[in-house]
Amino acid sequence: MASVTQLGYLGLSVSDINAWEHFATNTLGMQISARGDEGTLFLRIDDYHHRFLVHPTGKDDLDYFGWEVTDEHALRAMAEQLKAAGIEVRQGTPAEAQARGVVDLIAFKDPSGIPSEIFYGPLMAFNSPFQSPRPISGFVADTQGLGHMVVIMDDFDRSLHFYRDVLGMRISDFVQVERPPGNKMRLVFFHCNPRHHTIAFPAMPNPPKRLNHFMLQAKSLDDVGATYYLCQDQGIPIARTLGRHTNDHMVSFYLRTPSGFEVEYGWGARVVDDSTWQVQLHTAGSMWGHRPASR
Ligand code: FE
């Protein structure tokens, strides 16, 4: 079966684009690669021309997913898989492909109605290496995709089936926690390359926001520590303190974006080898730390 290979780009809809520009560059250390029509901000973290498209359209939530496949053959195979699953697929126009910076794309909605795109042929920028505006070592991305995200879905089983059996991702593990206390919440974590997870989700009716957080993986632990204290200096709210996750072994903390959802800033995750990986179950999200901090 055809499978997506990575999270290539993420579209965000925000209300305060100026706050986002300052936050993305001076706090997270992303680089602005371009400014598009209607004030869209293109942000990069690696050799891809951009990984985040931040639109000043006011939702303060995710806008769309951009899943990458290897080539045109894989794109057509994915379109057939989606249609076979009863999902309406729309061929992207040349203007849409140009706006995303890809050779070609298709568009559809996931089971929660989240606008989703599959593309091949991302615009690369090897001629102008990634340069963070902050003195950090950079991000682990490229073939592992831009990072990961936790999204709140409408229906757990339908979404699990879709991401596994239609998009072709593999389950890494499950985490079952009590949140809030007394309420059992189950999350499933999926990978589509060696990154331990690219998307993870619980399900909840009518979530206030779809996007709980996206994760950026720094190349050095020092970058995480320096950013943690920079947040304190800049008055950026820290949502969860430093900690280490049980499933991907990431050392990270969570900071709040100007849109209310969070960013996990981490380092040191283990990777998945599909030839030996076995699905696991965790009843704690963290080995230590990740305490709720300021709200
Ligand atoms: Fe995370």
In the reported structure, the alpha carbon of residue 151 is separated from the centroid of ligand 1 by a whole-number distance in angstroms of: 10
Residue located via tokens 């990961």? 148
pLDDT at 181: 85
Percentage of residues of the chain with pLDDT beyond 90:
95
In the reported structure, the alpha carbon of residue 267 is separated from the centroid of ligand 1 by a whole-number distance in angstroms of: 11
Asked whether the predicted pLDDT for residue 295 surpasses 80, the reply is no
Asked whether the predicted pLDDT for residue 8 surpasses 90, the reply is yes
Report the C-alpha dihedral over residues 230, 250, 61, 119, rounded to 10 degrees.
Answer: 120
Q: Which residue has the higher pLDDT, 294 or 188?
A: 188
In the reported structure, the alpha carbon of residue 16 is separated from the centroid of ligand 1 by a whole-number distance in angstroms of: 24
The CA-CA-CA angle for residues 70, 170, 13, to 5°, reads 70
Q: Whole-number mean pLDDT of the chain?
A: 97
| pLDDT, tens digit, 9 for 90 and up, residues 249-278 | 999 999 999 999 999 999 999 999 999 999
Helix, strand and coil content of the chain, in percent to the nearest 5, comes to 20, 40, 40
CA atoms within 13 A on the CB side of 288: 1
In the reported structure, the alpha carbon of residue 148 is separated from the centroid of ligand 1 by a whole-number distance in angstroms of: 6
pLDDT confidence band for 294 (50 / 70 / 90): low
Asked whether the predicted pLDDT for residue 186 surpasses 90, the reply is yes
pLDDT at 183: 87
Contact 254, 239 (CB under 8 A): yes
In the reported structure, the alpha carbon of residue 31 is separated from the centroid of ligand 1 by a whole-number distance in angstroms of: 22
pLDDT confidence band for 124 (50 / 70 / 90): very high
In the reported structure, the alpha carbon of residue 182 is separated from the centroid of ligand 1 by a whole-number distance in angstroms of: 23
Alpha-carbon distance of 12 to 66, in angstroms, equals 11
- Long-range pairs, 206-211, Cβ under 8 A, ≥24: 207/152, 209/60, 209/61, 209/152, 209/260, 209/261, 210/61, 210/62, 210/112, 210/114, 210/151, 210/152, 211/12, 211/61, 211/62, 211/149, 211/150, 211/151, 211/152, 211/261
In the reported structure, the alpha carbon of residue 80 is separated from the centroid of ligand 1 by a whole-number distance in angstroms of: 31
In the reported structure, the alpha carbon of residue 92 is separated from the centroid of ligand 1 by a whole-number distance in angstroms of: 30
pTM of the complete model = 0.97
In the reported structure, the alpha carbon of residue 217 is separated from the centroid of ligand 1 by a whole-number distance in angstroms of: 10
| pLDDT, tens digit, 9 for 90 and up, residues 130-149 | 999 999 999 999 999 999 99
In the reported structure, the alpha carbon of residue 215 is separated from the centroid of ligand 1 by a whole-number distance in angstroms of: 5
Asked whether the predicted pLDDT for residue 158 surpasses 70, the reply is yes
| pLDDT, tens digit, 9 for 90 and up, residues 73-103 | 999 999 999 999 999 999 999 999 999 999 9
In the reported structure, the alpha carbon of residue 4 is separated from the centroid of ligand 1 by a whole-number distance in angstroms of: 20
